[in-house]
């Protein structure tokens, strides 16, 4: 039937050839002229937009000492396709150099398979190798086709202290990625706590972009359009902290093996000189490849090393609160400086008996009452404040009392530039109304507030701050940890202005109270903290602790007339304020003002350093002290 059609075989063959050629040309026309998606696909293939990571800013202390810097580490990358092409690599040598098992090697390759197209892209094989490990590996790199090292940086903390303040960096979490509107990508590092977190924007710098050609094995083979589309990364700013790193080191040494806090502030400016959360940990523990492991260990430590005690822990301030009670009474005019009250070791407030901690002559003025920390005297003073204010009811008087406390930064957040802070507690009128009913409570109901017990709670930071305020005779600056921020390229400084807060107390009332605080150390409860040649003022406190031994507390400032340092110390379960807190505070003050410790006080220093209260917390050793940072064996 078709014989006629194929009679001219020559023509048939020519038609076959021509038709296939036509099909090809049409197909090419479709691919190259009609369809436009291939150009984009090709560009996606070959041109990649790369992030250029800026150098993270460094952190210096107030004297210019470098306290945080970046160190180069290496990620060992592998492109499985290249390894496969070269018929594998020397697994045994790799195991030996990285000290991992063969199973681990296989496991790591297995894990890469989760990523789509993993075979042709570089995958992280070993994360964050130290320079030492990497250089050892580099000698044998020829045995490992498809592997190469990629330089990254990690943070280093040469002084190994101040973890709470400096903070740490870690991989950005999903929530941050979402709120950053596309700036952060999974795997980016951001500050997780401390200065690193609060000043992330300044320290982090600005990422740049680079357009590069990539070959099929994911190797960068040169920039696209000779770099005209690239943007430079802007290095992070350097941060000058208010911290005195030497003082911080000394403070951490004194606080070692004790649970508690130490906060030192420069009263004039509100700059934090030292801030210790004990037990602390070496911030290097949370850097590099060991971060995950160490973080979990610290998280489960019963001593809570990750907890920032100075800003988060609250204690009843105990007797350390008495200067405030005194100042309010003087300001409100409910009693004079020379108001006397007989102390018979107990104060009966409508059936509630408040005892005095020790026997002492009856106070005839407020200075002496402070020096002896007389409980009945301050119960009476508090009562006077509530009941003897002319024309004001107890409730009104108490409301004012609360407001004045607030003006000292008590019961409110101080506004420190650290990521987390609690406000403590100064119970309000409403609070008592709710508990006892309106008009159904009086001074006797809340008498313990007068001696810093009961519902009143303060953080160690707030305690240091109120003593800074007292030394300033009525004002305080928002306590802060960062002095200024410097652009490393232009060397331009940005200095933050921190708010000046005025305490609602007339200036003249501070002098008698300061005098009283001076006598506390000169001849009162804190005699043990007396330093020859330094006019240290302060107040001990012994906060009752329902869970165990009382907390030892001290807060103060020095020198008396021109304070350079205000300090608060809490040693949990340390007993009397005079036992540990006051001596430690005095050592810090002495160190800061004199730069050395007087010879005759070296014994005291030694005793404080060696005091180990860990048994009181049910542990034998501080776990974090036995942990290793990156690159340590």
* Footprint of another protein (CB under 8 A): 2-3, 5-6, 9-10, 12-14, 16-18, 20-21, 23-25, 27-29, 31-33, 35, 37-39, 41-43, 45-47, 116-117, 119, 213-217, 221
Closest distance of CB 259 from another protein, Å? 56
Closer residue to another protein in complex, CB, 5/489: 5
Closer residue to another protein in complex, CB, 69/118: 118
Closer residue to another protein in complex, CB, 29/229: 29
| Residue 155 DSSP code | E
Closest distance of CB 42 from another protein, Å? 3
| Residue 142 DSSP code | G
CB 391 within 8 A of CB 402: no
With b meaning 16 or more CB within 10 Å and e meaning fewer, what string describes 364-399?
A: ebbbbbbbbbbbbbbbbbbbbbbeebeeeebbebbe
Closest distance of CB 143 from another protein, Å? 24
Closer residue to another protein in complex, CB, 20/183: 20
Closest distance of CB 208 from another protein, Å? 23
> How far are the Cα atoms of 43, 471, 537, 607 from residue 372, in angstroms, in the given order?
81, 20, 14, 25
Burial class for 422, CB neighbours closer than 10 Å (0-12, 13-18, 19+): middle
Closest distance of CB 459 from another protein, Å? 56
The pair of three-digit structure tokens given for residue 521, joined into one six-digit string: 């150390």
Closer residue to another protein in complex, CB, 96/215: 215
Residue with tokens 């709670």: 457
Of 526, 527, 562, nearest in space to 541 by CA: 526
Closest distance of CB 109 from another protein, Å? 16
Closest distance of CB 101 from another protein, Å? 29
Angle at 20 between CA 16 and CA 24, to 5 degrees: 170
CB 377 within 8 A of CB 363: yes
Closer residue to another protein in complex, CB, 140/213: 213
> How far are the Cα atoms of 17, 18, 23, 350 from residue 9, in angstroms, in the given order?
12, 14, 21, 127
> How far are the Cα atoms of 293, 360, 374, 510 from residue 363, in angstroms, in the given order?
57, 8, 8, 19
CB 169 within 8 A of CB 191: yes
Closer residue to another protein in complex, CB, 37/547: 37
Closest distance of CB 45 from another protein, Å? 6
Closer residue to another protein in complex, CB, 6/183: 6
């Amino acid at each position: 039937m078709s014989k006629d059609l194929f009679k001219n075989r020559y023509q048939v063959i020519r038609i076959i050839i021509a038709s296939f050629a036509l099909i090809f040309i049409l197909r090419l026309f479709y691919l190259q002229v009609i369809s436009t998606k291939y150009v984009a696909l090709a560009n996606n293939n070959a041109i990649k937009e790369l992030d250029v990571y800026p150098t993270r800013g460094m952190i210096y202390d107030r004297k210019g000492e470098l306290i945080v810097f970046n160190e180069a580490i290496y990620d060992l990358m592998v492109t499985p396709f290249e390894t496969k092409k070269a018929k594998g690599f020397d697994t045994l040598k790799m195991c030996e150099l990285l000290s991992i098992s063969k199973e681990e090697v296989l496991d790591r390759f297995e894990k890469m398979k989760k990523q789509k197209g993993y075979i042709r892209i570089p995958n992280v094989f070993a994360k964050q190798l130290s320079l030492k490990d990497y250089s050892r590996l580099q000698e044998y790199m020829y045995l490992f086709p498809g592997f190469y090292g990629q330089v990254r940086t990690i943070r280093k903390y040469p002084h190994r202290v101040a973890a709470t303040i400096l903070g740490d960096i870690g991989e950005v979490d999903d929530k941050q990625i979402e709120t950053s509107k596309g700036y952060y990508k999974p795997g980016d590092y951001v500050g997780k706590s401390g200065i690193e977190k609060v000043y992330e924007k300044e320290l982090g710098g600005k990422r740049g972009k680079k357009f590069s050609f990539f070959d099929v094995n994911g190797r960068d083979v040169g920039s696209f359009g000779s770099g005209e589309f690239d943007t430079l990364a802007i290095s992070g700013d350097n941060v000058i902290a208010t911290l005195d790193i030497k003082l911080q080191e000394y403070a951490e040494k004194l606080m070692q093996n004790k649970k508690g806090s130490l906060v030192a502030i420069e009263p004039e400016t509100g700059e934090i000189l030292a801030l210790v959360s004990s037990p602390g940990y070496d911030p290097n523990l949370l850097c590099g490849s060991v971060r995950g492991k160490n973080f979990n260990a610290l998280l489960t430590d019963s001593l809570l090393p990750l907890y920032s005690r100075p800003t988060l822990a609250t204690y009843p301030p105990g007797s350390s609160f008495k200067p405030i009670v005194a100042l309010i009474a003087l300001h409100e005019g409910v009693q004079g400086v020379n108001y006397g009250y007989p102390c018979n070791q107990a104060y009966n407030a409508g059936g509630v008996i408040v005892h005095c901690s020790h026997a002492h002559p009856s106070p005839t003025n407020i200075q002496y009452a402070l020096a002896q920390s007389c409980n009945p005297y301050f119960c009476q003073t508090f009562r006077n404040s509530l009941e003897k204010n002319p024309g004001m009811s107890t409730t009104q008087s108490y409301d004012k009392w609360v407001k004045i406390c607030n003006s000292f930064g008590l019961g409110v957040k101080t506004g420190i530039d650290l990521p987390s802070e609690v406000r403590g507690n100064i119970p309000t009128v409403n609070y008592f109304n709710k508990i006892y009913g309106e008009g159904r409570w009086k001074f006797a109901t809340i008498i313990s507030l007068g001696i810093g017990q009961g519902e009143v709670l303060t953080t160690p930071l707030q305690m240091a701050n109120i003593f800074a305020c007292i030394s300033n005779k009525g004002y305080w600056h928002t306590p802060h940890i960062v002095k200024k921020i410097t652009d490393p390229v232009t060397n331009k400084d940005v200095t933050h202005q921190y708010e000046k807060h005025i305490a609602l107390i007339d200036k003249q009332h501070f002098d008698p109270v300061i005098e009283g605080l001076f006598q506390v150390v000169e001849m009162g409860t804190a005699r043990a903290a007396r330093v020859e040649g330094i006019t240290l003022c302060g107040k001990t406190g012994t906060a009752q602790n329902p869970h165990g031994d009382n907390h030892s507390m001290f807060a103060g400032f020095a020198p008396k007339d021109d304070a350079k340092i205000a300090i608060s110390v809490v040693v949990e379960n340390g007993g009397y304020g005079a036992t540990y807190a006051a001596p430690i505070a005095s050592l810090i003050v002495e160190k800061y003002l004199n730069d050395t410790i007087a010879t005759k006080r070296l014994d005291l220093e030694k005793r404080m350093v060696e005091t180990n209260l860990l048994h009181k917390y049910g542990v034998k050793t501080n776990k974090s002290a036995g942990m290793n940072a990156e690159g340590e064996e």
